[in-house]
Structures are given as C-alpha cells and as structure tokens.
Amino acid sequence: QKEVEQNSGPLSVPEGAIASLNCTYSDRGSQSFFWYRQYSGKSPELIMSIYSNGDKEDGRFTAQLNKASQYVSLLIRDSQPSDSATYLCAVNLKFSGGYNKLIFGAGTRLAVHP
Amino acid sequence: DADVTQTPRNRITKTGKRIMLECSQTKGHDRMYWYRQDPGLGLRLIYYSFDVKDINKGEISDGYSVSRQAQAKFSLSLESAIPNQTALYFCATSSTGGGGTQYFGPGTRLTVL
C-alpha cells in the first residue's frame, strides 16, 4: 500500500463548479497535511495546510481532514480554467530523533473547462 | 527575488558525464531537500539535510551524492549520469518548527542522452 494515495484523474469539471480532490494516507501518526498545486513544468506551490480534524477555508479553497478515516480532501469552489493543474497531497511523517519527512502522493490532474 | 533558486534551469548532458545541480535559498531555513519528479511517479526524495552537518539518504539516493556547503546552499551531484536519471529535479527548504511546510525552487530539467 502506498503511503499517500490519490486518484490520478483527470478530474474534469465545468467552470464555476466545485472540484473535489481526495487523498488517503496510511500512517496514523501523521500530524500535518498539505495541498500543493503544480502547473505543467513548474514547481509545486503550497495552497493549503491543515493540522486538525475538520475544515479549513482560505478563499475559494477548503481543506478537510478526518484523521480517524485517514482522509484529507481539497474543495475548490467556483472553479476557474486557471485552476487546471495537478494537485499534490503531502503528509508529514515523524521519525525518531525529531526528524520528519513529507511524503507526496502522485497527484490528481484537474481540468476545468469553460 | 526568488527565495529558492536552482541552477542550471535546463541541462542536456551525455551518459557518463558528471553533473552538479545547485540550490540556494534566502529564506533562512535550516532544512533542505532534493527531489526528482518523473511523469506519473510524483515527487521522490533523493537526499535531505536538516543542518550543515546532517545529510540523510532519501528513498532513491543510488547514483547521487550531495554537499551542504552552507546553511543556504545544497548541491546535488550525479557522478556518472545515465539516461534513466532524465527527470525534473527540485530543491526544497523548510524550517524546524515550521510544521513541515516545504517551499520549492523552480526546478532543473535534466536530460541525459
């Protein structure tokens, strides 16, 4: 089982709709979770971080975390063509000695069509 | 000015050549990372460094080496490049106590012929 799993997509939504991106993770000890957006050929850009169960909203973006189900999602309201990109879910895993590493999913490609 | 910079941005080289990719940051972060990205495989960690004297292998370190010359500089070397090292390479930084958030450089596209 992969440590962080995402549906590769493409997820196709019409402009103005809500896009829902999902991610599951395997390590119950994970404490922090991130969503990055990556345009083709560009570097990942942080759009949301979430640390506690529940919802966190930032503009058109809402991150949802359910640690019991080991599930984190990203909702994009009023989707725009400029939101078309690959969205990477990342989970922070802690190791002994205070070390931690981000483990990335392979990403979900979102396509917003006019 | 960019907080995390990478040089070169693009490089084409031949099999067997030694290549160095460089990363510099002005964010004042103590932790630095090197990833490679291949289509459909996501980001895979090559090496990471939590301070100047700390270097750790990631999941795919074979064929690579690194040097942390200063807190702000972290370089990645391919001692003898091979075609399956053709990929997009990213440097990233984070700070201790920063919740794990990593910030990425613009990437280096490396092609090994």
Residues B21-64 have pLDDT tens digits of 999 999 999 999 999 999 877 899 999 999 999 999 998 999 99
pLDDT at A100: 74
User: Choosing among B55, B102, B103, B108, which should be mutated to test the A contact, i.e. which has the most A CBs within 10 A?
Assistant: B102
Q: What is the DSSP string of A80-95?
A: -GGG-EEEEEEEEEE-
Neighbours of B62 (CB within 10 A): 6
B36 min Cα distance to partner chain A (Å): 11
| Nearest neighbour of B99 by CB, restricted to A32, A41, A42 | A32
Amino acid at B31: R
| Nearest neighbour of A106 by CB, restricted to B40, B45, B105 | B40
Cα separation of B90 and B77, whole Å? 13
Name the CA dihedral angle for A112, B105, B36, B100, rounded to a multiple of 10 degrees: -90
For the segment A17-30, the average pLDDT, to the nearest whole number, is 93
| Nearest neighbour of B104 by CB, restricted to A43, A49, A99 | A43
pLDDT at A2: 66
pLDDT tens-digit map of A77-111: 999 999 999 999 999 987 666 677 889 999 999 99
List C-alpha distances in Å: B6 to A11, A65, B2, B55.
32, 33, 10, 19
pLDDT at B86: 96
Q: Is the pLDDT of residue A18 over 70?
A: yes
pLDDT at B1: 58
Q: b/e string for B34-43 if b means 16 or more Cβ within 10 A?
A: bbbbeeeebb
pLDDT at A96: 67
The answer to whether the Cβ–Cβ distance between A101 and B48 falls below 8 Å is: yes
pLDDT at A94: 75
Of A38-47, B51-60, B91-100, where does mean pLDDT reach its minimum? B91-100
A1 min Cα distance to partner chain B (Å): 15
Cα separation of A110 and A89, whole Å? 13
Q: Which residues does chain A have within 8 Å of residue B99's beta carbon, measured at their own beta carbons? A: 32, 49, 51, 92
Reference B36, options B28, B24, B48; nearest CA is: B48
Q: Which residues does chain A have within 8 Å of residue B42's beta carbon, measured at their own beta carbons? A: 88, 104-107
pLDDT band with cut points at 50, 70 and 90 for residue B111: very high
| Nearest neighbour of A102 by CB, restricted to B40, B100, B106 | B100
Q: Is the pLDDT of residue B14 over 70?
A: yes
Q: Which residues does chain A have within 8 Å of residue B90's beta carbon, measured at their own beta carbons? A: 43-44
Neighbours of A36 (CB within 10 A): 25
Amino acid at B76: L
Whether residue B105 contacts residue B7, with contact meaning beta carbons closer than 8 Å, is answered with: no
Average pLDDT, chain B: 93
Average pLDDT, chain A: 92
pLDDT at A27: 87
